Amino acid sequence: MTGAVGGARPTKPRTWWKTVVVLAVIAGITVWSSIAIGVDVSAIAENAHNAANTLIQLMQPDYSFFPQTLPALLQTVQMAIIATAVSVAIALPVSFWASRATNPNSVALGIVRFIMNVVRSVPDLLYASLFVTVVGTGALSGIFALVLFNLGILVKLVSEALDGLDRGGQEAALASGASWFKANRQAMLPEVAPVYISQAIYVLELNIRASTVIGLVGAGGLGMLIDQVRTFYQYHYLSLIILEILVIVVLLELLSSFARRRLIK
């Protein structure tokens, strides 16, 4: 083989020991964490009797309870829809404000990004309990909590989508003497629209799920009902509620994937 071009072939680099080290480190961290928080596996065995009872009740949803869940169920869906509509409307201009691609003013960009980071760092349950304290128990607190929770998510996702867009149309609009506002409206909005619609649907799904949880602290919806039945260990009622949530979430997913197909070419 005297005709070989480009010299000898390189030997394959040995990398298996790196994999071993990484796996060992991950295993070490996991063991250390479980010791630190005192994981006691034997507790599962000791409570096995309780667990079995609970599980048996959970497997037997009491359908006669259904009429009593209806108002709360309806409220959950209404809360989710209102919160989605409000947050989707607010999030669009704020997203353009929060993207480097659409806001040339780095000071304004920094301010809005900082505010949105703060908004996003507060969990939905904490928002709910804050609003329950300020506004009072009920659906209104839940809606406020969901709106803030949604804004954090939507502005993050949509502004990052704007960052990643092809900015050719915007450049052309600016070169033709358009202001940034007009260039963004005409060239960037149509490009980001599919992502925006898709995230709006995603947020509606999130809200159905989240609005069941925030009720636990008194912010309306199914969560308040869950809290009641759980307090009285009525697990066959609880399992019906869980079943209802499952049905709504599945229905909504079907609806949203259908809407996505229709809206986004």
Partner 1 sequence: MNQNGAGIRFEHVGVTYPNGYSGLRDVDLAIAPGEMVAVVGLSGAGKSTLVRTINGLVPITSGEITVGDVGLHGLHGARLRRLRSEVGMVFQSFNLAKRTTVLNNVLMGRLHGTSAWRTLLAAWRKDDIELAMRALERVEIVQKAYANASELSGGQQQRVAIARALAQRPKVILADEPTASLDPPTSHVVMRDLQRINAELGITVVVNLHFLDLARRYGQRLIGLRAGEIVYDGQGTDADESVFEAIYGRSLTAEDVLPSQPVELS
Q: Choose between 44 and 175: whose C-beta lies nearer to partner 1.
A: 175
State how far the Cα of 199 lies from the Cα of 84, in Å rounded to an integer.
Answer: 10
Q: Which of 104, 179, 250, 257 binds partner 1 (CB under 8 A)?
A: 179
Q: Does 178 bind partner 1 (CB under 8 A)?
A: yes
Q: Does 168 bind partner 1 (CB under 8 A)?
A: yes
Stretch that binds partner 1, among 14-22, 28-36, 170-178, 215-223 (CB under 8 A): 170-178
Least separation, in Å, of the C-beta of 205 and partner 1? 24
Task: For the segment 187-246, give every residue that binds partner 1 (CB under 8 A).
Answer: 187-188, 190-191, 193-194
Least separation, in Å, of the C-beta of 186 and partner 1? 5
Instruction: For residue 185, give both structure tokens.
Output: 């409206």
Q: Which residues have CB under 8 Å from 134's CB, separation 6+? A: 141
Q: Choose between 65 and 180: whose C-beta lies nearer to partner 1.
A: 180
Q: DSSP assignment of 21-55, as one string?
A: HHHHHHHHHHHHHHHHTT--THHHHHTHHHHHHHH
Stretch that binds partner 1, among 8-16, 99-107, 140-148, 183-191 (CB under 8 A): 183-191
Q: Does 172 bind partner 1 (CB under 8 A)?
A: yes
128 neighbors 217 (Cβ within 8 angstroms): yes
State how far the Cα of 127 lies from the Cα of 151, in Å rounded to an integer.
Answer: 12
Q: Does 171 bind partner 1 (CB under 8 A)?
A: yes
Of 120, 90, 75, the closest CA to residue 211 belongs to 75
Least separation, in Å, of the C-beta of 175 and partner 1? 4
Q: Choose between 23 and 264: whose C-beta lies nearer to partner 1.
A: 264
Q: Choose between 23 and 263: whose C-beta lies nearer to partner 1.
A: 263
Dihedral pair phi/psi, residue 242, rounded to 5°: -60, -40
Q: Does 164 bind partner 1 (CB under 8 A)?
A: no
Q: Does 166 bind partner 1 (CB under 8 A)?
A: yes
- Helix ranges (H only) for the chain are 16-36, 42-46, 48-58, 66-97, 106-121, 124-134, 139-163, 168-175, 180-183, 189-213, 222-231, 235-263
Q: Which of 58, 140, 169, 242 binds partner 1 (CB under 8 A)?
A: 169
124 neighbors 145 (Cβ within 8 angstroms): yes
Residues that bind partner 1 (CB under 8 A): 166, 168-169, 171-179, 181-183, 185-188, 190-191, 193-194, 265
